[in-house]
Amino acid sequence: MQICNTKDNHFVPQFYLKTFANQEGFIYYYDKETKKHYKTNNFAELAFGRNLYTIKNKISAEDIDIFKELFEQKLDSPLEQDYINHLTALLNDDFKKLFIVKYKKDKNVEQKINSKIEEIFKPEEISRNQELLFHFYEQLFQPIYQKIIGAESFPFEKPTQKNPISYLAFQMMSFTIITLKQKVCAILKRYDTEFISNQKISNPFINDPYVDCIHYLVVQYLRTNKRINFPDLDIIEKKLSKLSNKNFDINNVMFLYLHFCSLNITQNLISSKYRLILIKNLSNIPFITSDNPAVNPFSSIVPNKILPDGYEIFLPLSPKLGILCTKTCLYKTEKDVATITDSKQISYWNNLEVVSSERYIYSNNQEIFKTF
């Protein structure tokens, strides 16, 4: 029994793509390979990969060791250790790493229950729980997104959390505990059971939409088919060649990198005083989006402690709105809104979407494809 058995993993959310539909509910998309454009109102067929997020071989201690070596992660702080334990427990479908099940009425029955649960959980090597984690981040971002679209303004001012990386780590760990407990409860419906945690996790944070918004921009950048299947491995190629005799799964290593990297980058952006700018498009051409919608026009994202010069993340939110996370905004505004009437400036962002896309570009207006 799995929490999630979703094989078609959407790396661009359907609720997001629907915002780029026309008044009839259709979205147009351009295929860079065939040089043709099409239209559809079936958003489930867009921007997905088959088993893109599936853990085909359980994450091993060797995978974790290789991850630490390749990306110079010591993971020696209590928070880092808790985070890696919870993350791998969720991705591996391994509830016993986090808690044991107690049956109040009969110790013999309790032992049988735990043996039975272990038998149910253990044989399945494949885990598709990573889909749930990305869906969790989508659920945090969606109400923020809808408020921005509806009000054409941000529903927040500044981050309330002094330590965003701890806030995000506790979010994931709390989600993991709740999710795995739900799975066990589904098996033990008729037993009066309780859960004893191996690790004590109490979330001291309240929701922070500002941090959630920036984190989602980073996650959206990292989670696409293009970046998972064709990662920028230049920074680790030399190290990989030295590890050829070791037994590890490079996909698992890259998944660990993705989740740790998203936390590190979010922390770096906020601590480096990056701003969120809402771009209002009042020109005569719409924003387009793509199968790789969050773009960094200046450099590839690496988990450095110091962000590269010129670093930005841009995400079109709708045909008339975009969001830019930047430190030195090219739009000279002290406010968090930049209004653009010049179509050439909108074309700049649209061209980034075209260049950064893996294969497909999406728009509410098919005429814009004639300019490609």
**pLDDT tens by residue, the chain, 372 residues:** 456 888 999 999 999 999 999 999 999 999 999 999 999 999 999 999 999 999 999 999 999 999 998 888 899 999 999 999 999 999 998 888 888 788 777 788 788 777 777 776 665 678 899 999 999 999 999 999 999 999 999 999 888 778 999 999 999 999 999 898 888 877 777 666 677 776 666 667 888 999 999 999 999 999 998 887 655 555 566 666 667 667 888 889 989 999 999 999 999 999 988 989 999 999 999 999 999 999 988 754 444 444 555 678 999 999 999 999 998 766 666 678 999 999 999 999 999 999 999 999 999 999 999 887
Q: Phi and psi at residue 302, in whole multiples of 5°?
A: -130, 155
Q: Is residue 2 in some structural domain?
A: no
Residue 253 CB contacts under 8 Å (≥ 6 apart), including other chains: 63, 66, 67, 70
Q: Is residue 3 in some structural domain?
A: no
Distance (Å, whole) CA 245 – CA 341: 57
> In Å, how far are 82, 264, 317, 328, 342 from 210, measured between CA atoms?
24, 16, 16, 19, 29
Q: Is residue 285 in some structural domain?
A: yes
Distance (Å, whole) CA 252 – CA 57: 8
Which token pair is 333?
């505004």
Q: Is the pTM of this model over 0.95?
A: no
Q: Is residue 70 in some structural domain?
A: yes
Distance (Å, whole) CA 25 – CA 44: 14
Q: Is residue 159 in some structural domain?
A: yes
How many domains are contained in the chain?
A: 1
Q: Is residue 244 in some structural domain?
A: yes
Residue 345 lies in domain: 8-371
Q: Is residue 1 in some structural domain?
A: no
Q: Is residue 38 in some structural domain?
A: yes
